[in-house]
Amino acid sequence: MKNYSEEEILAIEKSYEELIQLVGETMTLEEVGFIGKAYDLCCLKYDGMRMRSGRPMMLHVLEVAKICYSEMGMHSKTIVCALLHNITKVSDVTFDEIKEQFGERVALILNGLIKVMSLNMSQISTQSDTFRKLFLSMIDDIRVVMLIIAHCLSNCRNQGDIDASADKFFEITKYLVIPIVHRLGLYNIKKDLEEAVMIYENPKEYNEIKEKITMSHVVQEEKMANFLLPIRRGLSEEGIDYTIKWRTKSIPSIFAKMKAQNVPFEQVYDLFAVRIIINNSRIKDEKADCWKVYSIVTDLYQPNPQRLRDWITKPKASGYESLHTTVKNGVDWVEVQIRTSRMDEIAEKGNASHWSYKSHNDKHQTADEWLNQIRSILEDTNQLDFNPLDDKRAAKGKSDKMYIITPQGEVKQLPLGSTILDFAFEVHTQVGSHCIGARVNGKMQPIRYVLSNGDRVEIQINKKQTPKADWLNYVTTEKAKSKIRRFLKDEEMKEAELGSSIFYRKLKNWKIAFNDKIFNDLLKEYDCDSGIEFYNKIATEQIDFADLKSFILSQTEEKEVRRVDDEQKKDKPVENDSDAMSIGSNINGFAFKMAKCCNPIPGDNVCGFVNVGGGITIHRVNCKNAIAMKKRYPYRLVDVKWQGDVPSRATIKVVAKDSFGILSDITEVMKQMEINIIDASMGTRNGLYEGRFVVHVTSVNYLEQLIRKLRALPNVNEVQRIDL
């Protein structure tokens, strides 16, 4: 190291000696030598390089390595990765060289670290949960997470080293790193990270709370000494070997309570936490010993039963085990945590400490097994308890979801196997409909290209592009499939409407009589399953009009087509009585139905609309739906006139004074006129009777007679025809 000062070199060598002294307590000589080899490469490649603060980069990587070991319980490969975590970015060392010198696993970990650290996290505050899922899904080795946590903690402790926007760094710390640290149970690290974030975001409030804690320290010491004295006596009498620690709760925790409860510092519910650690508890007796201590404490002080937390019976997902209660000490409340020394070790370092704890006694558990347990904690959001000594769920497969990033940094979740086209429709229907491809990680790819987790995708569109039928072969998500099918169906309907218009204009020009029988014969002749398919063939010029005209004429010349059975016509219901009306000047024999929105009856001014699927719907000319359809589909409008009186439905509303026998009077009128009531509903309101009657009438004139007779009844205020 020629480019650092003598003082800096001494500081670097001292820091390295501290690291080796730490790891030497649990690692083999081979593992220590492995770390030394990485240190030598760092001395060569980092020589003279500095952090933004001016601090030697060597001190930064050594600090990250010490955090990984002493505060997280990591082992040799992670320590080597901590030392080398910047080396490919700032020097000419390649991943192939790292693989050759330190093995494939170290190279994979470092490559994974570079990959996730390059994510655009500009929107992490609004998509924190999605970013965490993306972050974890991109990581093949969970040691990458540990390295990021250690790197983040080092920067929080040395904020001058932060080389990016401080806002961005603290957003990532707050919304990504702290939630992961919490889930892992790394509570000491979490406390340091939260304090760093609060000092950056709310420095005034942080200093005010810190000052108040400092000012009251002497009083706190005296209170806690008096509080703990009888507890110490009780524990000693029971022969319990114990350690007691107490502290004021962290400043961010107090600040959060002040905001949540909307109270000043002086009124925060429980400022103090006491930890009682049982040193002489055997594993099989741990639960019983913790409850025994609980009994001693609650015999002395009144507990709050709502604040009891039993994490020894059902540990947290991180493996955290402890028994918590809150007891009253005069006017103050004190949180008491009860645990064994084994539980305390896990609580101090999270489940990471379990590997360190167990490695002394059990060489059969592999690092991969332990790392899978850590991944299980982070990925399984439904996991409520976790037994690090026997967790069978750790071997479960990876998620079937992947996360794709937009150019703006927004994250979209898609199933594995999704294509560019799936992603385009996930962004927006219009984006998908006009998609012609995409830039995937800067390289152009076609719409059928299958995406990978973490890809950055910039969709390319062309307004002239529209979905095609073969697109259904290029998508996997139901959303994309349904949007494509919807577009194709809409296009099919548009073509059918155009074809229908062309077809009926041709019939009018040819002056050919036409009916449903001929139409059904046409469908068979041209191998169509529906009228829509037939009209599509017309619109797309798949049917020759000369042949079409010849076929229709041949059908109309048959006597069976022209014969009208008058007796049968009288018995048919109105919806199927095709001869009850003349429809246009040259079109007869079409099945028709009455529109339910306006219920036309003989005598009403009506119009007809040709249905795309066949048949005609009859509307009253003043019907709102008919008016709208005239504007939108004028070519589907046909002339309609009534031919005789036929039974039709109509609805009338009667409003009358709520008097005895009013319903009987109304029905008597209908009985005299031989009008059949199909349906009726009635009720009273504010002294008025209101009835609605659906009746069969043969014409508008007959309906108007009924209305006049009902209006003439005593106590009747109003009678009118209404639409349903």
Structure tokens at 705: 């007679």
In this prediction, residue 365 carries a pLDDT of 44
- Give the Cα separation of 273 and 176 in Å (integer): 27
Residue 572 pLDDT exceeds 50 = no
In this prediction, residue 560 carries a pLDDT of 42
Radius of gyration in angstroms for the set of CA atoms belonging to the chain, rounded to a whole number? 41
Distances in Å between the Cα of 533 and the Cα atoms of 84, 467, 495, 521, 550 are: 67, 19, 9, 14, 20
Residue 402 pLDDT exceeds 60 = yes
pLDDT per position as a tens digit, 660-685: 888 888 888 888 888 888 888 888 88
In this prediction, residue 557 carries a pLDDT of 57
Q: What is the mean pLDDT of the chain?
A: 81
Q: Where are the beta strands (DSSP E) in 175-322?
A: 242-248, 272-278, 309-310
Domain range 208-350, its CATH number among 3.30.450.20, 3.40.50.740, 3.30.460.10, 3.40.50.10540: 3.30.460.10
What CATH number does the domain located at 648-722 have? Answer: 3.30.70.260
Question: Which range among 119-128, 406-415, 509-518 has the greatest average pLDDT?
Answer: 406-415
User: What are the residues facing 657 on neighbouring strands?
Assistant: 688
DSSP-derived 3-state class of residue 671:
helix
In this prediction, residue 339 carries a pLDDT of 95
Residue 633 pLDDT exceeds 90 = no
Q: What are the contacts of 28-35 at 24+ separation with CB within 8 A? A: 31/75, 31/76, 32/76, 34/76, 34/80, 34/102, 35/65, 35/76, 35/79, 35/80, 35/83
Q: Which residues contact 203 (CB under 8 A, 6 or more apart)?
A: none
In this prediction, residue 630 carries a pLDDT of 84
Distances in Å between the Cα of 40 and the Cα atoms of 7, 37, 44, 61 are: 19, 5, 6, 13
Please tell me what DSSP assigns to residue 71: I
Count of residues making up the chain: 724
More confident residue, 694 or 723: 694
- Angle 709-711-715 from CA coordinates, rounded to 5°: 120
- 445 within 8 A of 457, measured Cβ to Cβ: no
Question: Which range among 168-172, 270-274, 481-485, 490-494 has the greatest average pLDDT?
Answer: 481-485
Residue 706 pLDDT exceeds 80 = yes
Question: Which range among 130-134, 160-164, 198-202, 534-538 has the greatest average pLDDT?
Answer: 198-202
- Grade residue 587 by pLDDT with cuts at 50, 70 and 90: very low
- Give the Cα separation of 543 and 499 in Å (integer): 11
- Grade residue 569 by pLDDT with cuts at 50, 70 and 90: very low
More confident residue, 521 or 474: 474
Structural domain spans, the chain: 6-201, 208-350, 401-476, 488-562, 566-642, 648-722
Closest CA to 67 of 15, 4, 138, 10: 15
Residue 357 pLDDT exceeds 50 = no
Residue 361 pLDDT exceeds 70 = no
- Grade residue 567 by pLDDT with cuts at 50, 70 and 90: very low
In this prediction, residue 578 carries a pLDDT of 42
Least confident piece of the model among 505-519, 679-693, 695-709: 505-519
Please tell me what DSSP assigns to residue 717: E
In this prediction, residue 215 carries a pLDDT of 80
In this prediction, residue 613 carries a pLDDT of 61
- Grade residue 103 by pLDDT with cuts at 50, 70 and 90: very high
Distances in Å between the Cα of 429 and the Cα atoms of 23, 426, 459, 481, 666 are: 56, 7, 12, 11, 56
- 156 within 8 A of 192, measured Cβ to Cβ: yes
- 213 within 8 A of 207, measured Cβ to Cβ: no
- Grade residue 378 by pLDDT with cuts at 50, 70 and 90: low
Structure tokens at 246: 């107490």
Least confident piece of the model among 214-223, 241-250, 386-395, 712-721: 386-395
What CATH number does the domain located at 6-201 have? Answer: 1.10.3210.10
> What percentage of the chain carries pLDDT values higher than 90?
27
Residue 145 has phi, psi (to 5 degrees) of -60, -45
Fold classification of 401-476 is: Ubiquitin-like (UB roll) (3.10.20)
pLDDT per position as a tens digit, 183-210: 777 778 888 999 999 998 899 999 998 8
> What percentage of the chain carries pLDDT values higher than 70?
84
Structure tokens at 654: 């009667």
- Give the Cα separation of 372 and 379 in Å (integer): 10
Residue 662 CB burial class (10 angstroms; 0-12, 13-18, ≥19) = buried
Question: Which range among 244-253, 343-352, 400-409 has the greatest average pLDDT?
Answer: 244-253
In this prediction, residue 122 carries a pLDDT of 67
Please tell me what DSSP assigns to residue 634: G
Other CB atoms within 10 Å distance of the CB of residue 537: 18
Residue 121 pLDDT exceeds 90 = no
Give helix then strand counts, H and E, for the chain.
Answer: 30, 20
- Give the Cα separation of 40 and 223 in Å (integer): 53
Q: Which residues contact 244 (CB under 8 A, 6 or more apart)?
A: 228, 231, 232, 274, 275, 276, 277
Asked if the domains at 208-350 and 648-722 fall in one CATH topology, the answer is no
Residue 362 CB burial class (10 angstroms; 0-12, 13-18, ≥19) = exposed
- Give the Cα separation of 574 and 587 in Å (integer): 18
pLDDT per position as a tens digit, 8-61: 999 999 999 999 999 888 888 999 999 999 999 999 999 989 998 899 999 999
The DSSP line for 557-610 is TSHHHH---HHHHHHS-TTT-TTSEEETTTB----EEE-TTT---TTS-EEEEE
pLDDT per position as a tens digit, 275-285: 999 998 998 88
- Measured between its terminal Cα atoms, the distance across the chain in Å is 91
- Give the Cα separation of 180 and 184 in Å (integer): 6
pLDDT per position as a tens digit, 448-493: 999 987 778 999 999 999 999 899 999 999 999 999 998 888 877 7
- 463 within 8 A of 434, measured Cβ to Cβ: yes
Question: Which range among 110-119, 416-425, 494-503, 699-708 has the greatest average pLDDT?
Answer: 416-425
